Chain A
């Protein structure tokens, strides 16, 4: 009898992924296509980033994908000089929270941004794009718009 293969696409997300199986695994396929996607409830219109398989308001899984596009505002950022196990080789790196109005996105600043602590300012406009981590995993990064 053939074993059912597990859909572990999500293990490709980020430097170290702690999750393999999720019902929003298509997020990974979209990242591979260069698209950063969230989900929207078809019943009530609520938008979710990160994407969710379910809407707690409509009590349904009637969701569709939408693309994160345009500019968001930098809510905050921090450059790490010390890191958890699994991430120390990437130091230093900068994490950030960006507000798109209907939703917010958490992630990293593009390592190509020079001296992030001097050049980034809370409130500045940012754009997100898909990227690869240093160890070849899928991710997305922010750059000043």
Chain B
């Protein structure tokens, strides 16, 4: 199998309401990634298009987007795993290149969510769970993650303030990220104000514990070793790529204090890369809710199970800490345009490993990790990147 490298990355600004259609939104990430890789459409052998359905009217969007970007007649594939669609798309692209079938493949993630009201979008997201047996009870994403938060608190003594600290960190970096939706600082005291971050959503989660819906796109271009070295001065190698699935219905889960798919996908990725959690210099984890980041840092082995709160309180997940996590602001600040999210996480890590991360650059990172979850721990994807 050929080694596979990322040779180009791009993303749109994530916004609350994009003034355009999905093809136009996709162009923004595509054009940045193509300029970054400095290649032509003829160099792309296939495309993988990633989004979650039912947020806009277009059926089979892969065709429309490929046409708009001038990527016919190359084959295009549509991949969907809810919030981790573009990480799963990256795994398909990796497989297409590693197998030798194609030399260079583009992964494009996109989502326009603003055409729906917030309640409508909760209904759509709720239907990403078990529509036969759970949705009739009025479930939604914040409530499912709230069940995990309640269980984590009961087992480990985690406090609502521990979760709030994750949002405070996220906002620290969201302020710096020009591509983020939420760019204001957040103080712990803001969680005491029910008009601000303290507003109740689904106990014990509050407004400040939840990320915002957003419109956005991301683009990742991968290539085999020969093309990567020909096209690119600083290829970033995919060293490990793991993925897993779990029961959709909460009744099928062993425990609610962590996400089994995060643990399993991480195990696979570490094994394939031949490294351990201690080797990771910078990580992007799926923080759709503060509790999701707390579980991720435990599930990925940055802390023991139940050790997350201590790591968070000690600020070890800040840029200067032992394991910087989501120092681009994470989903909590950037916003979460479902299909585009994974690609945006990959872009951040690739820029870190190229030493091109500007004001959030960590010092000389060798290994970076992306953890991207679909649904409520339904699909898990962990990808480990390294530089030469």
Q: Which residues of A contact B (CB under 8 A)?
A: 10, 13-19, 22, 49-50, 75-88, 90, 93, 95, 97, 103-108, 117, 121-123, 137, 139
Contact = CB atoms under 8 A, between A and B. Distances in A.
Contact of A16 (B135, B148, B151): B135
B127 A18 contact: yes
A76 B123 contact: no
Contacts of A106: 133-134, 137, 249-251
Nearest to A77: B150
B202 interface: yes
B202 A50 contact: no
21 contacts: A14-B136, A15-B138, A18-B135, A49-B251, A77-B147, A78-B143, A78-B146, A78-B147, A78-B203, A80-B201, A80-B202, A83-B140, A84-B123, A87-B138, A93-B138, A95-B147, A104-B250, A106-B134, A121-B154, A122-B151, A122-B155
Given A75-B151, A103-B251, A84 B137 contact: no
B119 A123 contact: no
Given A15-B138, A75-B256, A122-B154, 20 more contacts: A14-B136, A16-B138, A76-B150, A78-B146, A78-B150, A78-B202, A78-B205, A80-B140, A80-B143, A82-B200, A82-B202, A83-B138, A84-B123, A84-B140, A85-B123, A87-B138, A97-B250, A106-B134, A107-B137, A108-B138
Contacts of B256: 75-76, 97
B136 A81 contact: no
A69 to B, nearest CB: 17
A77 B256 CA distance: 11
A141 B140 CA distance: 18
B126 interface: yes
B122 interface: yes
A71 to B, nearest CB: 17
Contacts of A15: 136-138
Interface of B: 117, 119-120, 122-123, 125-127, 131-140, 142-143, 146-151, 154-155, 200-205, 249-253, 256
A108 B137 CA distance: 7
A123 B151 CA distance: 10
Contacts of A122: 150-151, 154-155
A81 B194 CA distance: 12
A84 B116 CA distance: 12
Contacts of A81: 200-203
Best-surrounded residue of B133, B138, B201 (most CB of chain A within 10 A):
B138
Contacts of B117: 85
Contacts of B135: 14, 16, 18
Contacts of A76: 147-148, 150-151, 154, 256
Contacts of A16: 135-136, 138
Nearest to A78: B146
Contacts of A14: 135-137
Which 6 A-B residue pairs are closest in the complex by CB-CB distance? A14-B136, A87-B138, A122-B154, A78-B146, A84-B123, A84-B122
A17 B200 CA distance: 26
Given A49-B251, A75-B256, A95-B143, A83 B122 contact: yes
A35 B11 CA distance: 53
A109 to B, nearest CB: 10
Nearest to A93: B138
Contacts of B251: 49-50, 97, 103-106
Contacts of B205: 78
Given A83-B140, A122-B154, A88 B119 contact: yes
A17 B127 CA distance: 11
Contacts of B202: 78-82
A97 B147 contact: yes
Contacts of B148: 76
Contacts of B149: 78
Contacts of B203: 78-79, 81, 117
Best-surrounded residue of B131, B147, B252 (most CB of chain A within 10 A):
B147
Contacts of A77: 147, 150
A88 B123 CA distance: 11
B150 A86 contact: no
Given A85-B123, A103-B251, A50 B132 contact: yes
Nearest to A116: B203
A106 B147 CA distance: 11
Contacts of A82: 122, 140, 142, 200-202
Nearest to B146: A78
B146 A18 contact: no
B119 A84 contact: yes
Given A77-B150, A122-B150, A86 B138 contact: yes
Best-surrounded residue of B131, B139, B252 (most CB of chain A within 10 A):
B139
